[in-house]
């Protein structure tokens, strides 16, 4: 159990006169801010010239905040190296995929693999730790901020040298690389590792193996950069460390969070994209199971930059967003940013205070969220979020494959978001998990859009189904090898097809092919790159009608041990396709007696939580239209103490209720 909920904002006192800090603190107390995050963009303030490091300003600010009951999360300032690192040194700069050398400005303009940059990072982080780690106001550290938010794979000379070293360590011999990548195609054959190019522009496209491997290399190197920072911080501090990330950044979150203590993220979805925030909560909650996650940045009314801005949240949405966050496992809910920036690229971005130091349009609702936080805090602290019984696998490695091979211009993040929404709308509680996640406690594992299924993942899934779980595989899963090549023994690899009891007959794009699928009493068009099967022991659950593969199977199930493998070879399309997928999910959820589910109107959710004495449902309307939920047993409203009868319960616009179910339903 956690002992406190935090409510915070990103704070940049280095941008303002020091005399403003007292006024800021007064306003922070008015809206209930209990923690600020700072330091990530302040390297030039800390070290204006090489080795002239002065952190007294930040020590004073942290101390003053602490004396006023406000804690600090301090960040390493590595996303914004000062001008003296970059000026006159193009060899230290990030080089994009077109070969363009970045200039000083904005952030992330230096290559994090450059040896000089790495050394200067070690120096400034060591100084920060020596000066700040002992301060009582420091409750956590954050590495950098938003790794790879603006840049992807660097093509500089430092990276090229490391790339060749990485390839040699991975493959051992150049012959092994040539064989793995199939480089005799188009005479790409290499005679030495030093000849292997970075994926810079070519007349057509690079070999898929090369492009995907370079992305994997980049993922590993940015994680290595963070690990260097962690080693320094932990030398001076045992305070927990996080990184503030986003699913759309060019990272492998399995690697980034492997050595961190808790997960945190930012997202700025407007009120009509509440499903994206909910998916974030269900994703970041699972990364560090034993620690709550943090919403490190979101907007209190709207976000924006020089290129545009989002529409403003409707009234009360912010309350629903925050209640959902805390109820689904967050310990901290924080805004970007405290005070609107008077310069730079994010001037239109929403904040709690304006540049002239007055409350913004979001100020009062920010204060209201604090009042709600205080109201729900005793309940949140005395309970914990329930692990879902259904898990959806999310993979940054899969995303790398889709960047290389987007097929029908597919965006992996959007594919996964659409899949998630279909589950969300069934009313079934769900977790979104990384490939490395433990499967204990789950009844159904979903593996959509995972082109390469690793040996480790396959073995984990095999044990899961043998122990009684249902593994739903596909669509677009299993059709590529680790090296981003095609299988040669079977379309989806021999192991997967064997355990699924199927043989792939054809693979092609079913989009606009005239193919329809029939399953669970529903017929819908089929689309995306598809695999069509014949049974080799599996039970056919869905048949293709029309198109080029009539009477083939696109949906099968096969008993393995005490569980099943379900193969979904093609993606049902449109409203009927959504209905078919939801029918499939409901069918297997009923078969496995999934209990964390509710009959609930679209746009309203439940966040189930466990206590020592039973089960709580936090019911929240997220779409601003009001809704209703079917209460499965007599219950009690924890705020009013009133009894809630089994049956239909209405929820107002962006409203929430916390219901304790009778013990028989817990």
Catalytic, 346? Answer: no
Q: At what angle do helices 115-132 and 56-67 cross, to 10 degrees?
A: 40
CB 429 within 8 A of CB 389: yes
Distance (Å, whole) CA 177 – CA 180:
5
Task: Give the angle 134-135-137 at the CA atoms, nearest 5°.
Answer: 140
Q: Choosing from 40, 269, 297, 321, which is the catalytic residue? A: 297
Q: Which strands sit side by side in the sheet containing 330-335, from one edge to the other? A: 241-242, 138-142, 71-75, 35-38, 6-10, 330-335, 293-297, 264-266, 244-245
Side-chain-side CA neighbours of 358 within 13 Å: the count stands at: 2
Adjacent-strand bridge partners of 220: none
For the chain, how many residues are written? 666
* CA 500-503-509 angle, 5° bins: 105
Count other C-beta atoms under 10 Å from residue 516's C-beta.
21
Which residues are CB-neighbours of 642 under 8 A, at least 6 positions away?
A: 636
Residues 40, 47, 146, 275: which is the catalytic one? 146
Using DSSP's 3-state secondary structure scheme, residue 187 falls into helix
Catalytic residue status for 18: no
Q: Are strands 553-560 and 539-545 parallel, antiparallel or unpaired?
A: antiparallel
- C-alpha Rg value of the chain to the nearest Å: 26
* Residue pair 561/467 in contact by the 8 Å Cβ criterion: yes
Is beta strand 71-75 parallel, antiparallel or unpaired with respect to 35-38?
parallel
**Neighbour tally for 116: CB within 10 Å:** 14
For 109, which DSSP code?
-
> Annotated active-site positions, please?
146, 297
């Amino acid at each position: 159990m956690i002992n406190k909920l935090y409510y915070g904002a990103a704070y940049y006192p280095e941008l303002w006169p020091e005399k403003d800090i007292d006024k800021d603190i007064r306003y922070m107390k008015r809206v209930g801010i209990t923690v600020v995050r700072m330091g990530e963009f302040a390297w030039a303030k800390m070290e204006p010239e090489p080795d002239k490091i002065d952190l007294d300003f930040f020590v004073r600010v942290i101390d003053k905040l602490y004396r006023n009951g406000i804690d600090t999360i301090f960040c390493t300032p590595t996303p914004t190296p000062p001008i003296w690192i970059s000026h006159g040194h193009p060899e230290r700069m990030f080089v994009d995929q077109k070969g363009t050398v970045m200039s000083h400005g904005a952030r992330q303009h230096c290559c994090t693999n450059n040896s000089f940059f790495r050394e200067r990072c070690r120096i400034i982080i060591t100084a920060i730790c020596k000066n700040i780690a002992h301060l009582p106001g420091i409750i956590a550290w954050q590495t950098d901020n938003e790794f790879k938010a603006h840049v992807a794979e660097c093509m500089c000379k430092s990276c090229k040298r490391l790339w060749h070293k990485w390839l040699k360590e991975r493959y051992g011999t150049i012959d092994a690389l040539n064989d793995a990548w199939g480089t005799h195609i188009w005479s790409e054959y290499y005679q030495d590792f030093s000849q292997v190019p970075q994926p810079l522009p070519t007349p057509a496209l690079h070999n898929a193996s090369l492009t995907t491997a370079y992305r994997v290399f980049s993922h590993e190197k940015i994680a290595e950069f963070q690990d260097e920072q962690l080693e320094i911080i932990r030398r001076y501090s045992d305070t927990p460390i996080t990184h503030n990330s986003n699913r759309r950044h060019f990272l492998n979150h399995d690697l980034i969070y492997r050595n961190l203590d808790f997960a945190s993220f930012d997202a700025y979805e407007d009120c009509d994209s509440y499903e994206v925030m909910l998916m974030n909560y269900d994703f970041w909650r699972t990364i560090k199971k034993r620690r709550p996650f943090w919403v490190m940045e979101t907007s209190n009314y709207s976000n924006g930059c020089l290129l545009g801005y989002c529409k403003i949240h409707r009234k009360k949405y912010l309350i629903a967003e925050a209640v959902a966050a805390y109820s689904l496992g967050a310990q901290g809910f924080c805004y970007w940013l405290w005070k609107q920036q008077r310069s730079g690229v994010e001037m239109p971005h929403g904040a709690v205070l304006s540049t002239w130091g007055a409350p913004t349009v979001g100020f009062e609702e920010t204060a209201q969220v604090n009042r709600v936080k205080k109201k729900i805090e005793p309940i949140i602290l005395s309970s914990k979020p329930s692990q879902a019984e259904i898990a959806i696998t999310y993979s940054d490695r899969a995303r790398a494959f889709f960047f290389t091979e987007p097929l029908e211009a597919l965006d992996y993040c959007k594919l996964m978001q659409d899949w998630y929404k279909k589950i969300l709308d069934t009313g079934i509680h769900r977790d979104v998990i990384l490939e490395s996640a433990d499967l204990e406690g789950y009844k159904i594992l979903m593996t959509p859009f995972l082109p390469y299924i690793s040996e480790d993942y396959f073995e984990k899934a095999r044990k899961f189904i043998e122990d009684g779980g249902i593994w739903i595989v596909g669509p677009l899963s299993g059709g590529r090898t680790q090296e981003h090549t095609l299988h040669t023994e079977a379309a989806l690899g021999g192991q997967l097809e064997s355990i699924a009891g199927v043989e792939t007959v054809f693979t092609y794009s079913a989009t606009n092919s005239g193919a329809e699928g029939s399953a669970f009493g529903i017929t819908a068009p089929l689309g995306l790159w598809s695999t069509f099967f014949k049974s080799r022991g599996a039970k056919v659950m869905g048949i293709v009608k029309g198109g080029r593969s009539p009477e083939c199977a696109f949906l099968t199930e096969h008993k393995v041990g005490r569980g099943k493998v379900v193969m979904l070879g093609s993606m049902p399309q449109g409203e009927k396709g959504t209905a078919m997928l939801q029918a499939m999910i409901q069918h297997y959820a009923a078969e496995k007696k999934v209990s964390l589910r509710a009959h609930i109107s679209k746009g309203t959710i439940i966040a189930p939580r466990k206590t020592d004495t039973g089960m709580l449902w936090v019911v929240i309307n997220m779409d601003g239209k009001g809704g209703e939920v079917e209460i499965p047993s007599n219950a009690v409203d924890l705020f009013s103490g009133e009894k809630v009868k089994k049956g239909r319960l209405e929820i107002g616009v962006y409203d929430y209720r916390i219901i304790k179910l009778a013990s028989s339903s817990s």
